[in-house]
Amino acid sequence: MEVSKNTNGRHEIELKYDPEAEPIADKGKVGHYIGSGYGSIKGERLNGKLHFTLYESQGDGLCQSNLFGLITTKDGAEIAFDSMGIFKVPDSEQYHKWITTAGVDFKTSDERYAWLNTSLGTWNGVFDMKSNEHKYQLQITG
């Protein structure tokens, strides 16, 4: 089996919790509902807005996460995304600052972005519980 060498660029993702945002689904793949919000994606192949929902199974300084939602690109495409990952507090004296990594799956019926249906993404980044902001670097391979 060969490992795919086809990368589809790097992307910046910024998400912000919004207490008024409707959850996308009543249930996640892990844990309990944490919240929903909005954000943006900017990069080589994807640019647009995001609506997300987060479920977590929290532990002592470590938790499993299921962050999923919908990307609406600037050209009007809709792309569902679903991630499974881990959040970790690297410094117990700064409990509100988490690092995170996750695998991301994509689904779309828009032919312009059909390449995403056979790709996987990985994102790495940080989450600040005080500001409720997530910042990720996303790389898509496939």
Which domains are present in the chain? 7-141 (2.40.160.20)
Buried b (16+ CB within 10 A) or exposed e, 63-74: bbbbbbbbbebe
Torsion sign over Cα 14, 99, 11, 68:
negative
> What's the CA gap between 127 and 135, in Å, rounded?
7
Instruction: Output phi, psi for 4, to 5 deg.
Output: -65, 135
Q: How far is CA 96 from CA 41, 80, 114, in A?
A: 24, 29, 38
Q: Look at residue 119 in the predicted model and tell me its pLDDT.
A: 95
Q: Are 63 and 86 in contact (CB under 8 A)?
A: yes
pTM: predicted TM-score of the whole model, two decimal places: 0.91
Residue 129: which residues within 8 A CB-CB, separation 6 or more? Answer: 95, 96, 97, 98
Low-confidence ranges of the chain (pLDDT < 50): 1-4
Q: Look at residue 6 in the predicted model and tell me its pLDDT.
A: 60
Query: 108-117 pLDDT, tens per residue?
Result: 999 999 999 9
Q: Look at residue 7 in the predicted model and tell me its pLDDT.
A: 66
Q: Look at residue 3 in the predicted model and tell me its pLDDT.
A: 43
Q: Look at residue 54 in the predicted model and tell me its pLDDT.
A: 95
Q: Look at residue 60 in the predicted model and tell me its pLDDT.
A: 83
**DSSP code per residue over 43-80:** ESS--EEEEEEEEEEE-SSEEEEEEEEEEEETTS-EEE
